[in-house]
Copies of this chain bind each other. A is one copy, B any other.
Amino acid sequence: MKQRLAAIGTVETLPHRVAAFLSREIESGELNTGARLPTEQELSEKFGVSRNVVREAIAQLRADGMIEARQGIGAFVLAPEQRAAIRIDREALKDTHNMERLFELRCILEAESAALAATRRGKEHLDSIKAALDRMGGEERWEEGSIDADLLFHREIARATGNSYIHTFISFVCEQIRQSIHYARLTNPLHDLVEINVGEHVRIYDALVAGDPEAAEAAMRAHIIGAANRVGVKLPLSKTGGAK
Given A15-B59, A59-B59, A109-B108, answer yes or no on A164-B101 (Cβ-Cβ < 8 Å). Answer: yes
Kindly state the separation between the CA atoms of A79 and B151 in the bound complex, as whole angstroms: 13
| Count of this chain's copies in the oligomeric assembly | 2
Residues of B within 8 A of A104 (CB): 116, 163, 165-166
Residues of B within 8 A of A63 (CB): 16, 19, 60, 63-64, 87
How many A residues, CB 8 Å from partner?
Answer: 57
Residues of B within 8 A of A85 (CB): 64, 85-88
Q: Determine which of B84, B102, B165 lies in contact with A90 in the assembled complex, contact meaning CB atoms within 8 Å.
A: B84
Stretch at the interface among A171-179, A188-196, A202-210: A171-179
Given A59-B15, A63-B60, A68-B7, answer yes or no on A165-B102 (Cβ-Cβ < 8 Å). Answer: yes
- Over the window 40-59 of chain A, the binary record of Cβ atoms lying under 8 Å from chain B Cβ atoms (1 yes, 0 no) is 00000000000010011101
A124, chain B: closest CB distance, angstroms = 18
B175/A83 in contact, CB under 8 A: yes
Residues of B within 8 A of A187 (CB): none
Kindly state the separation between the CA atoms of A88 and B104 in the bound complex, as whole angstroms: 23
Kindly state the separation between the CA atoms of A140 and B163 in the bound complex, as whole angstroms: 32
- Listed from nearest, the 7 A-B pairs whose CB atoms lie closest are A56-B59, A85-B87, A86-B86, A60-B63, A108-B112, A81-B175, A85-B85
- Contact surface of A with B, Cβ cutoff 8 Å: 4, 7, 10, 15-16, 19, 52, 55-57, 59-60, 63-65, 68, 78-88, 90, 98, 101-102, 104-105, 108-109, 111-113, 115-116, 118-119, 151, 163-166, 168-169, 171-172, 175, 178, 213, 237-239
